[in-house]
Amino acid sequence: MNIDQLYDNQLNFINTHQKISVEERLKYLKKLKNEININEENIYNALDLDLSKPRFETYATEIGFLINEIDLFIRKLKTWAKPHNVTPALMNFPSKDYIIYEPYGKVLVISPWNYPFQLALLPAMSAFAAGNNVVLKPSEHTPNTSSLIKKIIEKVFPSELMCVVEGDAKIASQLLEKKWDYIFFTGSVNIGEIVAVSAAKSLTPYTLELGGKSPAIIDRDTDLKLVSKRIVWGKFLNSGQTCVAPDYLIVHKSIKGKLIKELIDRIELTFDKNFDNTSDITAIVNEKNFNRLTELINENKIIYGGKSDRENRYIFPTILDSPKMDSNIMKEEIFGPILPVLSFEKLEDIDNIINKNPNPLALYVFSNNKKFTDTVINRYSFGGGSINDTIVHLANSRLPFGGVGNSGIGSYHGKLSFELFSHKKSIVNRSTWFDNNLRYAPYKNKLSLLRKLMKYLG
C-alpha cells in the first residue's frame, strides 16, 4: 500500500470508533518481544551491514534496551491505563475526580540512523501501548535495519494498527503533509524545525528529541583514571554518534596534561594502540559524515589520533587541543569520535564556553567536591546528565529523557512514554444527593461567604 492507503486504512479504523483494548495491546507487545528475540541474529547482521556495529553495543544499546522497555510495559500497562483518581476540590463536594488516559489517535514516528533499531521501535511501541495507531518512518541512511524493522512490524501488527513507511526525505515530507494527532521526531535541530512548522499548521502536538553540544566538566578534585575510563566509554561508544555523548571537555587547567595522558592510555587499552583490530569500533554512517568529520579534524591542532580508514568509514579516536570558540568544531554538534579538550580556572571560564551555544541535551560533571557539582548542575540549563559518569542517566526508565530549548521538546522513557502519547482527560463526577446553592444567582449577600470559602477550601 502507498502512503495514502496506509493513512486512510488507519483513519477508517479510528473513525469506526474502534479502540485498541489494553488486553489487545499486551498481546501485540508480547508478540513484538518474541519477534525481536527470534530476529536477534538478523538484527546483529543488519546493524553490522549499516554501521559495522559491535555485537556487544548492539545488544546493550539496541536490543536489550528495547526489550527492557517492552517488559516494563507488559508488567505495568494495566496499572498505568486505569483511570487515576485525584483528590477532589472541596468546593465540588461531594464528587469523584479522576484522569482518563486516552490515546491521541494517529501517531507519526520519524526515527534517526544512529541507534536505528531502538530509536525507531521504542517510541513506536510506546505510542501503540498507549492505544494509538502508528506509522513509523525509519531512517533511509541505515537501509538494512529499516528493512528488517518493516518485516518485524508486518509480522506482528495489522497495518491499521502499526505500519512502516521506508524512504528518503521526500517520503518524510509527504508524511508530514498529512494530518496527524501526534508527531514524534528524533534527529537534527534543522529537521526538527521543519517538523515543528509542519505540525503547527494543524495544531498537532509533537515531541522533538534533538541534540546539541553536551559538555563534560572535570574538576581537579577527582580520580583521573576513573574519569578517563568513563569519558572514553561515553564519547567513543558508537564512534561518538550518540546524541548524549560528551561533545567536548572543559578541564581544570591544573590537571589538563595529566588527564590527556590518562585518556590516551585508556583509548589504547580499549581499542588497540595501532587500531589494527576494529571489532569494537562502529563505522561512520556514510561518506558525507565521514568527510565532515575529517575536515573538522584537519582544521584543528591534534593532540592524539587523527587516523582514518576511508574505505571502511572508520575514524579512530582523536583528541584536539583547545580549538577556538569560533571554529566549526565548537559551533556544531560533532557526532563523531573527536574530543576537543578545553580548560578553565574559574566558573566564569566555564560560562564563557557553555553559553556560546544553545542549551545542551546533556551535561556531565566530574568532581568529588559536592559544592562544585551542585553549583554546576544548578548553574546551567540542559536536558539531563550525570555526576561522575556519562550517558548512564538513560539507563533508568524512571528518569525522563529529553532536551530543553534547542536540544528538544518533551521527554519519554518508561511510564513517561505512556503518558506522553496519552491525552489526559479530566473528569469530575458530581453527586446528586447534595447541591450547594452558593454558586447560583442571585448573588446578593454571597460575596463575603464566597471569599471565605475560597480562601479556606481552595
**Strand bridging mode 302-304 / 248-252:** unpaired
Residue 55 — left, alpha, or beta (φ > 0 → left; ψ -120 to 50 → alpha)? alpha
Asked whether the beta carbons of 160 and 12 are under 8 A apart, the reply is yes
| Cis upstream peptide for 246 (omega within 30°) | no
Residue 440 makes CB contacts below 8 A (sequence gap 6+) with none
Grid cell at residue 376: 554546576
DSSP character string of 95-142: EEEEEEEEE-SEEEEE--SSSTTHHHHHHHHHHHHTT-EEEEE--TTS
| Cis upstream peptide for 158 (omega within 30°) | no
Given the residues 62, 209, 262, 419, select the one marked as catalytic. Answer: 209
Grid cell at residue 132: 494509538
Residue 295 makes CB contacts below 8 A (sequence gap 6+) with 328
Residue 131 — left, alpha, or beta (φ > 0 → left; ψ -120 to 50 → alpha)? left
In the residue annotation, 163 being an active-site residue is answered as: no
Asked whether the beta carbons of 89 and 458 are under 8 A apart, the reply is yes
Give the separation between CA 327 and CA 340, rounded to whole angstroms: 11
Give the separation between CA 129 and CA 29, rounded to whole angstroms: 8
Give the separation between CA 257 and CA 319, rounded to whole angstroms: 12
Give the separation between CA 143 and CA 286, rounded to whole angstroms: 12
Contacts by residues 301-308 (CB-CB < 8 Å, ≥ 24 positions apart):
303/260, 303/341, 304/260, 304/263, 304/264, 304/267, 305/267, 307/275
Given the residues 243, 262, 333, 419, select the one marked as catalytic. Answer: 243
Residue 49 makes CB contacts below 8 A (sequence gap 6+) with 144
Which residue(s) pair with 216 in the sheet?
249, 364
**Strand bridging mode 302-304 / 318-321:** antiparallel
Residues forming the active site: 209, 243
